[in-house]
Amino acid sequence: MQKKNFGEWYSNILKVAGIVDVRYPVKGIYVWCPFGFKIRRYTYGILRELLDKSGHEETLFPLLIPEEEFMKEAEHIAGFQDEVYWVTRGGLDELEIPLVLRPTSETAIYPIFKLWIRSHADLPLLTYQIANTFRYETKSTRPLIRAREITSFEEAHTAHESYEDAEMQVKKAVEIYKSFFKRLCIPITISKRPDWDKFPGADHTIAVDTLMPDGRTLQIGTVHHLADNFARTFEIRYEDERGERRYVHQTCYGISERCIAAMISIHGDDRGLILPPEVAPIQLVIIPIIKKEGGEEVLKRCRKIEERLGERYRVKLDLSEERPGAKYYHWELKGVPVRIELGPRDIKKDEVVISRRDEQKKISVKMEELDNRIEEEMNKMGKNLLLKAEAGMRERIFECAKIEEMSNHVRKGIIKASWCGDESCGREMEERSGADILGDILGEEEDGICPICGKETKIKVYLAKTY
Ligand code: A5A
Ligand code: MG
Ligand code: ZN
């Protein structure tokens, strides 16, 4: 498997590592395999932990949305009408009220928020759900990256007293997503999408992107400030302290299985997956090296290690009939962070050999130091994966002053450029460079000149070829 042919590598690894099965007979719809689903479980465990501890409560709203509710918010419909699946029949009957499969859940949730929210005492309201959503995507579909059934859609929905309170929530959400991607060792950029690329119905959108090995960026999360746009449509009001009825201001933010696509793609190598220890279904594999003699003793000791380390880690003792070399190969493919080898010679020295998936070095460790050493190596591995990935992204960010330079760097990474902020210049810059504007780099202002109109500006933007 050669990662330099990234498209092929990606399809292949999903298959051979047992992440998803793409043979389901509906385009853009995939099956999670047991191993892939375990990665999903640990990954979403982190997301749940972060949302729970920042005051969000988990809910679950229905999959089916009545046409009338779905059609209420003009911009929202305009943005999604090409992408929705309709349910129009029940058995042999035409449904009186056609239903849409949620492409996202604003129009399922907000009619109920209207009932739940009465007074300022009900605010802020912070909820999230993890569910499947359906989008009839027309761009080419790709497992975990552009699915028609998004199986792992985490969407948070919040309501607040004022625009400013919602703005604060946007900042908190960005911090939550930053922590999440840090735990997955995924480097990100954060930018404010241009108006023509914001979420349908939003006041503005902050996006989280990462750079994939083929030089294109993938949007792996978005945080939307909805202002009172949906509140006015769905009449979500609260009574303030003086007894006046006011519209709430809302936010919503989402992440999908793209986070797993990014994690696999960014860390993996020619040998297979490399998983951050926190989300690896198997964190530690023990391989007994059985020679002609001393097999009993080796197995006994391996079982002991399995039992002891099994209290703290997800451990696999590989007792299959394969030769050690074949076992190494298999567990490397599966991305197991740490391997322990133990043979008769190691027993004599009261040692074991350990090696980390991200570095091919073998290290001999005294038995009594094993527990501490494993903990240390797991920590180091997480840090190393993040540092390596960050460096990989940093060296593929190119500052460009002219359109020609920009087009030369498309598909090589992320372009950083000045932009006056006018839509017409932005669109022309996209067209002539062949890259899309990801958005305004928040908190970064620098004197520069718009490459289209020549006006002076402080706005810096990222551009890239996107997925
Ligand atoms: N309700 C808000 C949160 C929302 O729907 N936002 S969104 O449309 O931007 O989607 C949230 C995230 O889902 C996106 O940032 C993107 O990372 C992911 N996503 C969107 N379409 C997807 C698809 N077809 N397959 C996989 N992930 C997708
Ligand atoms: Mg565009
Ligand atoms: Zn300009």
The angle formed by the CA atoms of residues 335, 340 and 346, to the nearest 5 degrees, is: 160
- pLDDT single digits (tens) 212-231: 999 999 999 999 999 999 99
Nearest residue to 141 (alpha-carbon basis) of 232, 261, 228: 261
pLDDT of 294 over the 80 cut: no
Report CA(324)–ligand 2 centroid distance (Å).
51
Ligand nearest to the CA of 61: 1
Instruction: Identify the pLDDT of residue 293.
Output: 77
Report d(CA 18, CA 60) in Å as an integer.
29
Which residue's CA lies nearest to atom 15 of ligand 1?
221
For ligand 1, atom 11, name the residue with the nearest CA.
254
Residue 180 has what pLDDT? 99
> What residues contact residue 274 under an 8 Å CB cut-off, 6+ apart?
267, 268, 335, 357, 358, 385
Q: What is the pLDDT of residue 345?
A: 93
Topology (CATH level 3) of domain 282-376: Rossmann fold (3.40.50)
- The b/e string for 115-144 (b: 16+ C-beta within 10 A; e otherwise) is eebeebeebbbbbbbbbebbbebeeebbbb
Give the per-residue pLDDT at 274: 98
pLDDT attached to residue 291: 81
DSSP-derived pairing of the beta strands 217-227 and 204-211:
antiparallel
Fold of 396-464: Translation Initiation Factor IF3 (3.30.110)
pLDDT category of residue 295 using cuts at 50, 70 and 90 = confident
- Asked whether the CA dihedral 329, 331, 333, 336 is positive or negative, the reply is negative
| Ranges of each domain in the chain | 6-267, 282-376, 396-464
Q: What is the pLDDT of residue 466?
A: 98
The residue type at 447: D
Residues 62-89: pLDDT tens digits? 999 999 999 999 999 999 999 999 999 9
CATH architecture of 6-267: 2-Layer Sandwich (3.30)
Predicted pLDDT at 129: 98
Q: Report percent pLDDT > 70 for the chain.
A: 100
Q: Which atom of ligand 1 is the closest one to the Cα of 252?
A: 3
From 82, 102, 157, 258, mutation site for ligand 1 pocket: most ligand atoms within 8 A of C-beta: 258
pLDDT at 358: 98
d(CA 153, CA 104) in angstroms, rounded, equals 8
Which of 134, 149, 150, 188 is the pocket-test mutation for ligand 1 (most atoms within 8 Å of CB)?
Answer: 150
User: Does residue 98 register a pLDDT over 90?
Assistant: yes
Average pLDDT over the chain, rounded to an integer = 97
- Per-residue pLDDT tens over the stretch 402-452: 999 999 999 999 999 999 999 999 999 999 999 999 999 998 999 999 999
Residue 360 has pLDDT above 90, yes or no: no
Helices 370-394 and 295-310: angle between axes, nearest 10 degrees = 70
- pTM score of the predicted model: 0.98
pLDDT of residue 79: 95
Q: How far apart are CA 336 and CA 384, in angstroms?
A: 15
Name, in order, each residue with C-beta under 8 angstroms of 44's C-beta and a sequence gap of 6 or more: 130, 152, 154
d(CA 29, CA 9): 20
- On the 0-12 / 13-18 / 19+ scale of CB atoms within 10 A, 424 is exposed
Name residue 189's beta-bridge partners: 209
CB 120 within 8 A of CB 240: yes
Positive/negative CA dihedral, 267, 272, 277, 280: positive
How far apart, in whole angstroms, are the C-alpha atoms of residue 268 and residue 358? 9
| Matching fold, domains 282-376 and 396-464 | no
User: Is the CB of residue 206 less than 8 Å from the CB of residue 190?
Assistant: yes
| Pair 222, 205: CB distance under 8 Å | yes
Q: Which of 127, 152, 153 for a ligand 1 pocket mutation test, highest count of atoms within 8 Å of Cβ?
A: 153
Residue 448 Cα to ligand 3 midpoint, Å, equals 11
Name the residue with the closest Cα to ligand 1, atom 19: 256
For residues 147 and 134, the answer to whether their CB atoms sit within 8 Å is: no
Question: What tens digit of pLDDT does each residue of 122-180 get?
Answer: 999 999 999 999 999 999 999 999 999 999 999 999 999 999 999 999 999 999 999 99
Phi, psi of 92 (to 5 degrees): -95, -5
State how far the Cα of 118 lies from the Cα of 239, in Å rounded to an integer. Answer: 6
Over residues 366-372, the mean pLDDT reads: 97
Q: What is the pLDDT of residue 136?
A: 98
